[in-house]
């Protein structure tokens, strides 16, 4: 292949495997490329591989490797890497599934809804998934009645066990279980996993928990496809690991668990693993993140679950401890030649412990280990064994005991699970170790790789067979295609009489043979074999070229590990054990084994036989393959190591499948895809041609390609031909690009020239305008300057005048003010002098008056004091009555004299008072003036003080006001909070009160029902059947039929109760209402059953049967009966009609699929819809009829029937529309855009996309509406039914975008949009009573309302799956997708459910009250009784009186 500059290629790099590069220069055979790391290297052309130039378009990845343009190693590797970065861990390679371990939880991929999506879907129709492979195997088993097998392979840690669990989980989901069992098969098998892992898993170089055996889980099915049993088959247990391990590997987990078991270990005299020979060959005793003691108890719990008794558990652990003690027995040379004995007391202690744990004779154990018996005709000959032979004998015993113990455990696990020996078909899931290649490879790796070579041959045959089937289906010639086989490697290993295994067995039979003699003989026999090579630095190592690469084996331990002797003494020793489990492991030997007590058994030969049995099992089944890949060695998510994954792809046979495809026609494209991509090579053929096959052939013939094949729907190209086409396409596109660039540059240059010319013209015009404007501005400024100067001069003169005028006025005013102030000051001084003089005179007078008055008072006081003392002395001296009278006379005289003096004093005082009054008047005038001045001064000071006080008061009031406002605000907030809390408490109280009312109502109903059941039990007894007397219900259970609240008003009212009660006979007593004769009941039952079963149809839109049934029940007073069975018969008859009319095969699909005519639903169902809401729910207006408990229960049962009818109709509609919707999810090939045909002439119009599938849905909806209207289904019921149906359509369309990548495309979106527009048109054409059309949302509303409602995982899923298949434009950038992936990882950690799919709504969208209010009332009075019922006496009154009169 020739390379040119700019071509995208893959170049091999040591660290990364392959890296992206681009050719920058070509010189002869040397090609210079620039890698993605910007490194320029030189490589040979033969070492480059072509890369798809359009790989970045459409998401950059495919879900099936066969869709890759270039099917090669780097293409496969990087396709897996891109899908892994998007958490797309599953990828197809044809029918093979590749599963990359995500090392993180992805629960949304494995829930029940996802299993339902893949149920019954053809492989490849949905995105790759392990459920798809499991479903394909199950469908093939059911359809072909042939057993299937699923081969899960991969290296340790790749997720094989988890994948096996998921497969069993899905098979349990689709298959169920025929028998009733509390545990599923998946649970039973998984419960045994800890036990099998403990005894069959060990640490290897690459994995801490590697399975050292092959596990084939066989799930058995019965003839109906139901799971009937299961079994676990084990293959190829690595027995040699028991006695020999290499550092840093470990022995089987159970030994380390037992050593860490604490008291149990002490019981068996066990210590640290380093003290035992079988465990201390490796220094690794503990595993990171694993506690051996905890694992020990998990193993014991698993034994309990499997059903192993405690005695057997003790025996199992005794056997394990005995094996460890057995390994510590050492031998030393005995007294005789070539004999041996126990070396020391320590070895003797371990021997005694081993014998004690085996429960056998210690001496017999010593004899068995150190001697060998040979049976001859004369008798048995005892031969002593040397130390090496005794040690080999010891190891053989340990391996035999452990292998038989493992087989016993598997057998007990199978008994616990339960096998079906009569099963004809089964599905087997094989979980086996993968290809191994280490630095040092021994006998174990040789056997494992031999098994993988066998499985690879089976895999190659299957892949080649699938290739042949595709070639046959496309009707192309494939006879000359060569089959790539690895039979030569298998012959090299297993062919007899000369093969590696045969030579190894032959060397093991001779005691003196060594690994050198074995290697020499092998090289001599296979010196010319191209698959076997000899190493340069070793004489005994050899190299085998396997399908996955070359592996170097070291033969040092081949002979020891291959030897496995069947020793009769071992069997005799342990069969005589007192432990039932030990003796049961070693039954009687065959006769031929008894002849020789020491028969050689080859491990490799037995391995080969088990492998052959496994291959026979696989060959009898149809295989399915799952290849598990470990993306990195550190077990971290979102890490992808190219070199490690490439190695696993080679070891897993994926690249071998690629080589098989390359041998035939690796490139396959549908004609539409081929024409879309390469139609540009023949534009002359694209005009007016629509035959894609002819266009494909024309393209290939024009390119002069040979050996291609044209199939029915695809074109098949040989390896390298697609590269030639891509190169030619790139040349055409480059020429076209150059032509377009030239035209575009011409256009750009002319455009620039025109712009430049227009700009120069504009600049010139602008410059001229600028000059003109500048001249104009100069002239205008000159004129303006003159005007400004004139006004400035005027302003200056005016301002000078104004200044002089103002100065004169100011001087005048100042002089006049000075004179006035001086005159005012003189007057004020004169007035002040007068005031001072008057005040001074006044003061002098006041002082004189006060001095005079004080002197007068003092004189009077002194005189009166003197008189009083004198009188006191006189009185003291007087005594007796005479003295008193004398004294009285004297006193009277004194009084008279004093009175005279007082009168004189009064006259003097009066004159003095007149003088004082005059002075007082003058003083008052002076004081008045002083008081006025002081008052004015005091008032001024008080005013100032009051002003300051008022200011302080205002400030304090403002502060107080602000604090009060703050307190008011906080109080208001507190009151609002309190009011809210009160409202919440009130709402909660109301809600609790409602719940309490509901609970009381339910309790009342339960009490009523309990009472009725007791009454029925009493009636069913012989004594009560003989008695005609009945017991009345308590009055508290008697309520009117319908709603308990009689005051509720509905949209439609029924006629008054008196009208319906007119024809009731007045002679019916209470006892007769409650019980009728048996004959009358049977006749009534027959009437009602005929009304329900016969198709009485409708009259004026009224259901005849429902009206008659209601009239009869009202006529027979059934609603007032306290005990009656007539309602039960009515409900039973209605349920029988529902079972016949509502079946799962559909009701509204097509006329041919419906059993009847336009009334396919049956008018009885519609009568059932109407009867509970209109004929039972409206009797609350019949105030004279008291409904008893049977009538109330009858209403509840009718309500349940309505809900059942709605649910069954809705589910049947979904089943009918699902097939129509499934073909509308993805656009047909003919409706997709074809870029190659874009250059049609203008006259040729594009054909509109076909909407025939959407037309089928519209026709289905039209048929549904016509059927519902023909059966008089209420519009409210229709509206709810259609709403849920459209909700189901929305959910299915949205989930298809998230599940199928081919649906998440640009053209498919246009197709679905066109279909939805048809449905919108149908909605707009439908009448308003059917469905209310929602307002169409704008783009802004979708962006702001709809998008935020989507979860992060849903948006990420859509962005990662979307690709533009019409214009090949890039979708969401990788940076945005990476950022969204980080958000999804954060979002997922806090989720309980990570499902990104929408769930279907299965609720009932209405209540009985809603239905009762929406449906108009029915007047059944004018409904005539059918003639077929006229002969019944019970309804004669209805025949005579159609219109009941009021009572």
What pLDDT digit, counting tens, does each position of 86-105 carry?
A: 888 999 887 789 999 988 88
At 1346, the pLDDT band (50, 70, 90 cuts) reads low
What pLDDT digit, counting tens, does each position of 1423-1436 carry?
A: 777 776 776 776 66
Bind-site residues for ATP: 154-161
**What Rg, from alpha-carbon coordinates, does the chain have?**
57
Decide if pLDDT at 1339 tops 70: no
What pLDDT digit, counting tens, does each position of 591-639 carry?
A: 444 444 456 678 888 888 888 888 888 888 888 889 899 898 887 888 8
At 1247, the pLDDT band (50, 70, 90 cuts) reads very low
Instruction: State the DSSP string of 274-333.
Output: GGSTTTTTSS----TT--HHHHHHHHHHHHHHHT--HHHHHHHHHHHHHHHHHHT--EEE
Decide if pLDDT at 1444 tops 60: no
CA atoms of 1441 and 1447, how far apart (whole Å): 14
Decide if pLDDT at 791 tops 90: yes
- Per-residue model confidence (pLDDT) at position 659: 65
Owner of token pair 């349920």: 1135
Burial of 700 (0-12, 13-18, 19+ CB in 10 A): buried
Instruction: State the DSSP string of 558-583.
Output: HHHHHEEEEEHHHHHHHHT-SSHHHH
* Contact indicator for 449, 549 with CB cutoff of 8 Å: no
Decide if pLDDT at 356 tops 50: yes
- Report the SS3 class of residue 862: helix
- Per-residue model confidence (pLDDT) at position 1208: 83
CA atoms of 434 and 436, how far apart (whole Å): 6
Those residues with Cβ within 8 angstroms of residue 675's Cβ, 6 or more apart along the chain or in another chain: 692, 695, 696, 699, 1234, 1236, 1237
Average pLDDT for 527-538: 88
Compute the CA torsion angle 1009, 1013, 1019, 1023 (nearest 10 deg): -130
Helices (H), 359-486: 362-370, 387-417, 443-473
Q: How many residues does the chain have?
A: 1447
Decide if pLDDT at 406 tops 90: yes
Q: How far is CA 1374 from CA 21, 87, 857, in A?
A: 19, 14, 124
Burial of 1054 (0-12, 13-18, 19+ CB in 10 A): buried
At 330, the pLDDT band (50, 70, 90 cuts) reads very high
Those residues with Cβ within 8 angstroms of residue 77's Cβ, 6 or more apart along the chain or in another chain: 17, 18, 642, 645, 646, 649
The DSSP letter of residue 1039 is B
Owner of token pair 């590749």: 98
Residue 1441 in tokens: 């009186």
What pLDDT digit, counting tens, does each position of 495-504 carry?
A: 887 889 999 9
Average pLDDT for 56-72: 72
CA atoms of 1277 and 204, how far apart (whole Å): 67
Q: Max Cα separation, the chain?
A: 196
Residue 754 in tokens: 């025109």
Among 140-154, 379-393, 887-901, whose mean pLDDT is lowest?
Answer: 887-901
| Phi/psi at 1166 (5° precision) | -65, -35
Average pLDDT for 750-779: 94
Pairing between β-strand 8-13 and β-strand 340-342 as defined by DSSP bridges? unpaired
CA atoms of 351 and 345, how far apart (whole Å): 10
The DSSP letter of residue 218 is E
Question: Helix 654-663 crosses helix 642-651 at what angle (to 10 degrees)?
Answer: 70
| Of the ranges 86-90, 495-499, 658-662, 697-701, the best mean pLDDT one | 86-90
What pLDDT digit, counting tens, does each position of 873-920 carry?
A: 888 887 666 666 777 777 778 887 777 777 777 777 777 777 777 877
In a 13 Å sphere around the CA of 1203, the CA atoms on its Cβ side amount to: 15
Among 85-89, 820-824, 1169-1173, 1389-1393, whose mean pLDDT is lowest?
Answer: 1169-1173
Q: How far is CA 1168 from CA 125, 1115, 1201, 1202, 1211, in A?
A: 43, 20, 8, 7, 19
Decide if pLDDT at 1056 tops 50: no
Q: Residues 166-183, buried b or exposed e (16+ Cβ, 10 A)?
A: bbbbbbbbbbebbeeeee
Those residues with Cβ within 8 angstroms of residue 671's Cβ, 6 or more apart along the chain or in another chain: 692, 693, 695, 696, 713, 714, 715
Average pLDDT for 761-784: 94
| Phi/psi at 668 (5° precision) | -130, 125
| Of the ranges 43-57, 126-140, 191-205, the best mean pLDDT one | 126-140
- Per-residue model confidence (pLDDT) at position 1035: 34
Instruction: State the DSSP string of 817-846.
Output: HHHHHHHHHHHHHHHHHHHHHHHHHHHHHH
* Contact indicator for 258, 252 with CB cutoff of 8 Å: no
- Per-residue model confidence (pLDDT) at position 1011: 59
Average pLDDT for 683-688: 73
Burial of 530 (0-12, 13-18, 19+ CB in 10 A): exposed
Average pLDDT for 424-442: 85
Average pLDDT for 14-31: 81
Q: Which residues are catalytic?
A: 156-157, 161, 207, 210-211, 434, 436
As beta bridge partners, residue 668 has 716
Residue 213 in tokens: 């055996």
What pLDDT digit, counting tens, does each position of 253-299 carry?
A: 999 999 999 888 999 999 999 999 999 989 899 988 889 999 999 99
CB atoms within 10 A of CB 344: 9
Report field, pTM of the whole predicted structure over 0.85: no
SS (H, E, C) 1349-1365: HCCHHHHHHHHHHCECC
Enumerate helices (H) and strands (E) in the chain, giving the number of each. Answer: 45, 28
| Phi/psi at 332 (5° precision) | -130, 160
The answer to whether the Cα torsion of 62, 63, 68, 73 is positive or negative is: positive
Residue 613 in tokens: 């049995």
Q: How far is CA 426 from CA 89, 171, 234, 621, 821, in A?
A: 28, 11, 17, 9, 135
User: Starting at the edge strand that comes first in sequence, how are the strands of the sheet with 148-153 ordered?
Assistant: 90-93, 96-100, 622-629, 148-153, 425-431, 214-221, 227-235
Return the percent helix, strand and coil in the chain, to nearest 5.
60, 10, 30
- Per-residue model confidence (pLDDT) at position 554: 92
CA atoms of 58 and 1362, how far apart (whole Å): 7
What pLDDT digit, counting tens, does each position of 556-595 carry?
A: 888 888 877 667 778 888 888 899 998 988 865 554 444 4
Q: H or E element: which one contains 41? A: strand 40-44
- Per-residue model confidence (pLDDT) at position 800: 94
Among 403-407, 882-886, 1154-1158, 1183-1187, whose mean pLDDT is lowest?
Answer: 1154-1158
- Per-residue model confidence (pLDDT) at position 748: 94
The DSSP letter of residue 67 is G
Decide if pLDDT at 1156 tops 70: no
Residue 693: which of 251, 1229, 1396, 1374 has the closest Cα? 1229
- Per-residue model confidence (pLDDT) at position 1027: 35
CB atoms within 10 A of CB 1193: 17
SS (H, E, C) 904-955: HHHHHHHHHHHHHHHHHHHHHHHHHHHHHHHHHHHHHHHHHHHHHHHHHHHH
- Per-residue model confidence (pLDDT) at position 1012: 58
Question: Helix 500-509 crosses helix 603-619 at what angle (to 10 degrees)?
Answer: 150
As beta bridge partners, residue 831 has none
Decide if pLDDT at 1243 tops 50: no
Burial of 162 (0-12, 13-18, 19+ CB in 10 A): middle
Pairing between β-strand 96-100 and β-strand 622-629 as defined by DSSP bridges? parallel
Bind-site residues: 154-161
């Amino acid at each position: 292949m020739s390379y040119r500059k700019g071509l995208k290629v893959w170049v091999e790099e040591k660290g990364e495997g392959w890296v992206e590069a681009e050719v920058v220069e070509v010189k002869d055979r040397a090609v210079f490329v620039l890698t993605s790391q910007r490194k320029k290297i030189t490589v040979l052309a033969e070492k480059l591989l072509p890369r798809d130039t359009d790989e970045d378009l459409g998401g950059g990845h495919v879900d099936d490797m066969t869709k890759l343009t270039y099917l090669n190693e780097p293409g496969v590797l990087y396709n897996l890497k891109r899908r892994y970065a998007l958490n797309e861990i599953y990828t197809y390679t044809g029918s093979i599934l590749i599963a990359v371990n995500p090392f993180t939880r992805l629960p949304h991929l494995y829930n029940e809804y996802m299993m339902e999506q893949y149920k019954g879907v053809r492989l490849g129709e949905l995105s790759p998934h392990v459920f798809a492979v499991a479903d394909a195997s199950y469908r093939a088993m059911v359809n072909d009645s042939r057993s299937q097998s699923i081969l899960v392979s991969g290296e340790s840690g790749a997720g094989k066990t988890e994948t096996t669990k998921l497969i069993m989980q899905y098979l349990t989901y689709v298959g169920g279980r025929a028998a009733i069992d509390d545990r599923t098969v998946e649970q039973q098998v998984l419960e045994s996993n800890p036990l099998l892992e403990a005894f069959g898993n060990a640490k290897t170089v690459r994995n801490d928990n590697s399975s050292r055996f092959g596990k084939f889980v066989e799930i058995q099915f019965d003839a109906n496809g139901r799971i009937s049993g299961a079994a676990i088959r084990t293959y190829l247990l690595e027995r040699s690991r028991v006695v020999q391990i290499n550092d840093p590997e470990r022995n089987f987990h159970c030994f380390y668990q037992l050593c860490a078991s604490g008291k149990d270990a002490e019981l068996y005299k066990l210590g640290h693993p380093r003290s035992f020979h079988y465990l201390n060959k490796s220094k690794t005793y503990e595993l990171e993140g694993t506690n051996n003691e905890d694992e020990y108890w998990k193993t014991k719990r698993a034994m309990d679950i499997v059903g192993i008794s405690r005695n057997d558990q003790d025996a199992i652990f005794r056997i394990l401890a005995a094996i460890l003690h057995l390994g510590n027995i050492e031998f030393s040379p005995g007294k005789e030649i070539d004999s041996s004995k126990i070396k020391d007391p320590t070895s003797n202690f371990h021997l005694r412990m081993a014998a004690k744990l085996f429960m056998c004779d210690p001496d017999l154990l010593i004899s068995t280990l150190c001697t060998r018996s040979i049976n001859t005709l004369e008798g048995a000959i005892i031969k002593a064994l040397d130390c090496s032979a005794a040690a080999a004998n010891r190891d053989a015993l340990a391996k035999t005991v452990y292998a038989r113990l493992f087989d016993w455990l598997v057998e007990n696990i199978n008994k616990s699970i339960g096998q079906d020996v009569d099963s004809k078909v089964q599905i087997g899931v094989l979980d086996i170790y993968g290809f191994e290649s280490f630095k040092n490879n021994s006998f174990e790796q040789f056997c494992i790789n031999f098994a993988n070579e066998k499985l690879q041959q089976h895999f190659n045959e299957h892949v080649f067979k699938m290739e042949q089937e595709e070639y046959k289906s496309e009707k192309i010639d494939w006879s000359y295609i060569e089959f790539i086989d690895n039979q030569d490697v298998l012959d090299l290993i297993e062919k007899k009489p000369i093969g590696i295994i045969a030579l190894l067995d032959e060397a093991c039979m001779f005691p003196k043979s060594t690994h050198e003699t074995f290697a020499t003989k092998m090289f001599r026999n296979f010196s010319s074999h191209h698959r076997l090579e000899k190493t340069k630095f070793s004489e005994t190592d050899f190299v085998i070229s396997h399908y996955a690469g070359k592996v170097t084996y070291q033969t040092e331990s081949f002979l020891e590990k291959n030897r496995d002797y069947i020793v009769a003494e071992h069997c005799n020793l342990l069969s005589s054990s007192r432990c039932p489990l030990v003796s049961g492991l070693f039954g009687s030997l065959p006769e031929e084994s008894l002849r020789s007590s020491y028969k050689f058994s080859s491990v490799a030969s037995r391995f080969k036989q088990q492998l052959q049995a496994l291959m026979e099992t696989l060959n009898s089944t149809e295989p399915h393959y799952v290849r598990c890949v470990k993306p990195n060695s550190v077990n971290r998510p979102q890490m992808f190591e190219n070199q490690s994954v490439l190695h696993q792809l080679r070891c897993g046979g994926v690249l071998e499948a690629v080589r098989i495809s390359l041998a035939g026609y690796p490139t396959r494209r549908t004609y539409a895809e081929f024409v879309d991509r390469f139609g540009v090579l023949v534009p002359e053929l694209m005009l007016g041609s629509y035959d894609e096959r002819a266009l494909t052939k024309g393209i290939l013939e024009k390119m002069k390609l040979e050996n291609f094949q044209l199939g029915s729907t695809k074109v098949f190209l040989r390896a390298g031909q697609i590269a030639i086409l891509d190169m030619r396409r790139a040349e055409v596109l480059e020429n076209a690009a150059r032509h377009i660039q030239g035209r575009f540059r011409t256009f750009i240059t002319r455009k620039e020239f025109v712009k430049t010319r227009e700009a120069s013209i504009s600049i010139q015009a602008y410059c001229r305008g600028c000059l003109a404007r500048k001249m104009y501005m100069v002239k205008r400024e000159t004129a303006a300057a003159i005007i400004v100067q004139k006004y400035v001069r005027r302003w200056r003169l005016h301002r000078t005048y104004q200044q002089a005028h103002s100065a004169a006025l100011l001087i005048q005013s100042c002089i006049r003010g000075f004179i006035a102030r001086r005159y005012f000051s003189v007057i004020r001084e004169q007035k002040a002098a007068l005031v001072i003089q008057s005040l001074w005179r006044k003061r002098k007078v006041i002082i004189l008056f006060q001095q005079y008055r004080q002197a007068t008072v003092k004189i009077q006081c002194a005189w009166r004091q003197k008189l009083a003392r004198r009188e006191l002395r006189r009185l003291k001296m007087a005594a007796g009555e005479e003295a008193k009278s004398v004294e009285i006379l004297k006193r009277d005289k004194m009084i008279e004299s004093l009175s005279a003096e007082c009168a004189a004093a009064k006259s003097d005082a009066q004159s003095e008072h007149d003088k004082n009054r005059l002075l007082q008047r003058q003083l008052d005038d002076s004081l008045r003036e002083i008081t006025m001045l002081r008052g004015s001064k005091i008032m001024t000071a008080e005013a100032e003080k009051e002003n300051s006080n008022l200011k302080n008061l205002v400030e304090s009031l403002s502060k107080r006001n602000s604090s009060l406002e703050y307190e008011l605000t906080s109080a208001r907030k507190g009151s609002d909070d309190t009011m809210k809390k009160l409202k919440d408490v009130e709402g909660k109280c109301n809600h609790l009160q409602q719940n309490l009312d509901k609970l009381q109502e339910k309790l009342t109903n339960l009490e009523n029902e309990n009472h009725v059941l007791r009454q029925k039990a009493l009636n069913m007894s012989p004594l009560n059947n003989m008695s005609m007397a009945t017991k009345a219900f308590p009055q508290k259970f008697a309520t009117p039929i319908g709603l308990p609240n009689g005051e509720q008003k509905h949209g439609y009212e029924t006629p008054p109760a008196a009208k319906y009660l007119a024809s009731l006979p007045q002679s019916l007593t209470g006892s007769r209402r409650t019980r009728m004769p048996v004959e009358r009941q049977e006749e009534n039952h027959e009437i009602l059953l005929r009304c329900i079963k016969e198709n009485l149809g409708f009259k004026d839109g009224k259901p005849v049967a429902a009206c008659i049934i209601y009239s009869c029940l009202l006529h027979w007073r059934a609603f007032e009966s306290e005990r009656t069975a007539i309602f039960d018969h009515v409900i039973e008859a209605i349920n029988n009609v529902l079972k016949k009319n509502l079946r799962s095969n559909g009701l509204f699909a097509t006329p041919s699929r419906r059993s009847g005519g336009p009334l396919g639903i049956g008018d009885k169902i519609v009568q059932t819809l109407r009867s509970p809401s209109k004929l039972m729910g409206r009797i609350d207006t019949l105030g004279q009829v008291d409904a008893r408990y049977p009538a109330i229960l009858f209403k509840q049962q009718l309500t349940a029937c309505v809900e059942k009818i709605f649910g069954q109709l809705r589910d049947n509609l979904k089943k009918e529309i699902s097939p129509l919707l499934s073909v509308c999810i993805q656009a047909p090939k003919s409706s997709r855009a074809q870029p190659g045909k874009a250059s049609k002439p203008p006259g040729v119009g594009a054909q509109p996309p076909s909407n025939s599938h959407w037309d089928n849905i519209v026709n289905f909806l039209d048929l549904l509406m016509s059927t519902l209207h023909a059966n008089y289904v209420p519009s409210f019921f229709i509206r709810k039914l259609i709403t849920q149906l459209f909700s189901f359509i929305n959910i299915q369309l949205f989930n298809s975008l998230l599940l199928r990548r081919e649906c998440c495309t640009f053209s498919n979106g246009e197709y679905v949009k066109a279909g939805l527009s048809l449905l919108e048109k149908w909605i707009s054409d439908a009448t308003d009573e059917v469905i209310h059309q929602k307002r169409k949302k704008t783009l802004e509303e979708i962006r702001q309302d709809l998008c935020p409602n989507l979860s992060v995982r849903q948006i990420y899923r859509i962005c990662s799956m979307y690709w533009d298949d019409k214009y090949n434009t890039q979708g969401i950038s990788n940076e945005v997708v990476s950022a969204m992936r980080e958000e999804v990882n954060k979002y997922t950690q806090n989720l309980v459910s990570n499902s990104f799919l929408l769930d279907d709504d299965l609720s009932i969208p209405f209540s009985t009250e809603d239905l009762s209010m929406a449906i108009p009332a029915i007047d059944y009075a004018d409904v005539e009784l059918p003639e077929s019922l006229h002969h019944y006496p019970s309804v004669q009154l209805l025949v005579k009186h159609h219109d009941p009169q009021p009572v």
